[in-house]
A and B are shown apart, each in its own frame.
Chain A
């Protein structure tokens, strides 16, 4: 098939091409952990693309509630390297809906085999504005009262580099994950900020049934996350930091999709009282192969 795109329709054609590639791919059985903030050491399978949508509904003591959402495109470049693009947005009730920026994340598995603890290096570049509220991680002195009206907040641009060390271990069905993190604004004279996320999870059943089923216990993974800020290089510690405890549940469906839900509860007066999160993901196998075939045809 010969596709010809006029210059002014380039974006539309690009979108159509991507949709065609999705339609030609096959769905894969998703095996998702329930974590929304913490990461375990498992990467995307090579050549597969996972498309995820997440929502966070948050309350604010001195402001309007908000709905922050993001789309993740997660691609397994290698068995040891996963790359991911985020597109973030946010609606604050009685205010406005704004696009708040993008993030580009890369995760690298550092060791070949499974070990007592499995380290993965996480590097992310983010270009977001001050209205971003997805709270995908908490760092430094991020607190609830930082939030300004969207009209003001969106004028503040942030270019940040974020590094995490993802430490994870799966034992007897239990996964334990510990993620220390640091963030550096690329603007001059900004301190390094610190934060953490820890998580534990386990499937509701370790044995699988012989038949494909939606509501089997092995399709559900339950867990809990704890995450928060640890100050910065100028004032390290828990003073004026926010922290959350979030039970989480993932439901992996045989159709290839997964649903995650996680109510996060603020643990101190600097935290949002409630962050209600949910997400939906689909995994497509052979996406990279199809892209490369398209490339071959073109040349």
Chain B
């Protein structure tokens, strides 16, 4: 005779993972966030806290042909969930298209990525190997284009 606890354990062990697997077939769409609103909700003071030594570091991946593509892939995997798929910012994290980010040195961005902003909800990303973090920095530095008027129109509707 199977006891009651065993039934619940089996439910927890198999029904939940099965439900999760079902999800992989489905999926859900990302939310649209007004970039302007996202910008106002955050400050970028953490970038200025990067030590001088870190700020002046050069990006060793710069100029390598595939770096930006690698960075784009890694951004989608690790950063887009908070910063938005186009880095326009979201409820949880600021826009990376803002001047504060685009004018920062690669070294300063690398430092923020490595150390996170833990008290504001950004995890540390030192788990990613250095070449991958630099690739993300390279990609972010290519985003120095303001959001298109078409997108801005869509988000205000």
A interface residue numbers (CB < 8 A to B): 15, 18-19, 22-29, 31, 33, 40, 42-43, 45-47, 51, 53, 69, 71, 76, 78-80, 87, 89, 97-99, 109, 112-114, 170, 172-173, 175, 203, 206-212, 218, 254-256, 280, 282, 284-286, 289
Contacts and interface: CB of A to CB of B under 8 A. Distances in A.
B59 to A, nearest CB: 14
Given A18-B16, A46-B92, A71-B13, A79 B70 contact: no
A45 B93 CA distance: 13
25 contacts: A19-B16, A19-B19, A22-B16, A23-B23, A26-B27, A29-B78, A33-B127, A45-B123, A46-B92, A46-B121, A53-B17, A69-B13, A71-B13, A97-B2, A113-B115, A173-B130, A207-B70, A208-B131, A208-B135, A209-B66, A210-B69, A210-B73, A218-B129, A285-B81, A286-B81
Nearest to A30: B77
Interface residues of B, number: 51
B28 to A, nearest CB: 5
Nearest to A205: B129
B48 interface: no
Given A42-B127, A208-B135, A285-B81, A47 B92 contact: yes
B12 interface: yes
B119 A203 contact: no
Contacts of A113: 115-116, 118, 124
B156 interface: no
B20 A207 contact: no
A97 B6 CA distance: 7
B8 interface: yes
A282 B17 contact: yes
B126 to A, nearest CB: 5
Contacts of B9: 87, 89, 99
B20 A282 contact: yes
A19 B22 CA distance: 10
B15 interface: yes
B70 A109 contact: no
Contacts of B116: 79, 113
Interface of B: 2-3, 5-6, 8-9, 11-13, 15-17, 19-20, 22-24, 26-28, 30, 66, 69-70, 72-74, 77-78, 81, 91-92, 114-124, 126-132, 135
A80 B119 contact: yes
B14 to A, nearest CB: 9
Given A22-B16, A31-B78, A255 B24 contact: yes
B6 A99 contact: yes
A99 B126 contact: no
Given A22-B23, A98-B6, A31 B127 contact: yes
A203 B77 CA distance: 17
Which of B30, B72, B81 has the most A CB atoms < 10 Å from its CB? B81
Contacts of B78: 29, 31
A255 B66 CA distance: 23
Given A51-B20, A208-B73, A71 B132 contact: no
Contacts of A22: 16, 19-20, 23
B34 to A, nearest CB: 17
Contacts of A33: 127
B123 A89 contact: no
Nearest to B65: A210
A80 B132 CA distance: 23
B12 A71 contact: yes
B132 A43 contact: no
A285 B2 CA distance: 35
A167 B79 CA distance: 26
A260 B7 CA distance: 26
Given A98-B6, A109-B118, A112-B115, 14 more contacts: A19-B19, A22-B16, A23-B26, A26-B28, A27-B24, A46-B123, A71-B13, A114-B114, A114-B124, A114-B126, A206-B129, A210-B70, A218-B132, A286-B81
A247 to B, nearest CB: 20
